[in-house]
């Protein structure tokens, strides 16, 4: 039986078993870049980009986030290989519900990332973390936003949870405002339990802790 030869896509990428094999290439030339919009969490830039094979630049609107930060409070008193970490249930307006997450937050413009992580942890849990901070790396999200993460041994009692509060119209379309805690509960979980509860974007952070705890 004669095998079919790999075809070439118009872009020059080879088609291998029905999938595109992307060839490495040079980044497009940014002819100009202007700030179009800015808020505390992110900026939008309008770039004029000269892409491969193009004669004229094209417009591309790029969102650049300040980034987020995470501190994992760790209790390894019972097991160095399988430490417990603090997971919280936090309200996310975009999702319209509470979600299980590791304590995370935004970085203000010009703010040191570790200082921001400590501040966010304090604001969300009422607990001040101190000690040796283990760098768990910077993790890029599908959106392009980055999350810088650290781990630190913590002596956190969930019963003492004290979070920031936020106001929303409640019930919806009632015209009445009500206040709720940003984080309404927190607890110690094993790494495997945490990986089952948290969102996909945060899992590499917990996996990095697991790797650092392995001998």
Domain range summary for the chain, segments of one domain joined by +:
21-65, 68-213
Interatomic CA distance for residues 26 and 9, integer angstroms: 18
Which CATH code is given to the segment(s) 68-213?
3.90.79.10
Res 88: pLDDT: 94
- Phi first, then psi: what are they for 213, rounded to 5°? -85, -15
- Nearest-Å Rg of the Cα atoms of the chain is 22
pLDDT tens per residue across span 124-179: 999 888 889 999 999 987 777 889 999 999 888 888 898 888 888 888 889 999 99
Res 117: pLDDT: 95
Average pLDDT, the chain: 84
Could you list the beta-strand ranges (E) of the chain: 14-16, 19-21, 29-38, 42-50, 58-65, 68-75, 84-92, 97-101, 104-106, 134-140, 146-153, 165-169, 177-181, 183-190
pLDDT tens per residue across span 174-184: 999 999 888 99
Interatomic CA distance for residues 91 and 84, integer angstroms: 23
Residues 6 or more apart in contact with residue 91 via CB below 8 angstroms: 97, 98, 99, 166, 180, 181, 182, 183, 184
Is 117 in a helix, a strand, or coil? helix
Q: How many residues does the chain have?
A: 215
Q: Give yes or no for a contact between 36 and 61, defined as CB atoms under 8 angstroms apart.
A: yes
Res 19: pLDDT: 58
pLDDT tens per residue across span 85-121: 999 998 887 777 889 999 998 898 889 999 999 999 9
């Amino acid at each position: 039986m004669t095998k079919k030869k790999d075809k070439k896509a118009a872009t020059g990428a080879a088609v291998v078993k029905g999938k595109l094999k992307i060839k490495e290439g040079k980044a497009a030339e940014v002819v100009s870049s202007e700030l179009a919009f800015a808020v505390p969490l992110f900026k939008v830039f309008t770039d004029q980009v000269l892409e491969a094979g193009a004669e004229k630049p094209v417009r591309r609107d790029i969102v650049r986030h300040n980034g987020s930060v995470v501190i994992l409070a760790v209790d390894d008193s019972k097991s160095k290989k399988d430490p417990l970490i603090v997971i919280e249930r936090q309200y996310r307006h975009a999702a319209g519900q509470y979600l299980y997450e590791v304590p995370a937050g935004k970085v203000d413009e010009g703010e040191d990332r570790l200082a921001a992580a400590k501040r966010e942890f304090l604001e969300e849990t009422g607990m001040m973390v101190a000690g040796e901070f283990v760098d768990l790396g910077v993790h890029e999200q599908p959106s392009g936003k980055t999350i810088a993460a650290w781990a630190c041994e913590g002596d956190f009692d969930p019963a003492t949870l004290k979070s920031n509060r936020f106001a929303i119209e409640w019930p919806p379309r009632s015209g009445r405002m009500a206040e709720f805690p940003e984080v309404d509960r927190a607890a110690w979980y094993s790494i495997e339990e945490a990986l089952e509860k948290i969102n996909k974007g945060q899992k590499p952070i917990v996996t990095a802790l697991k790797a650092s705890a392995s001998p």
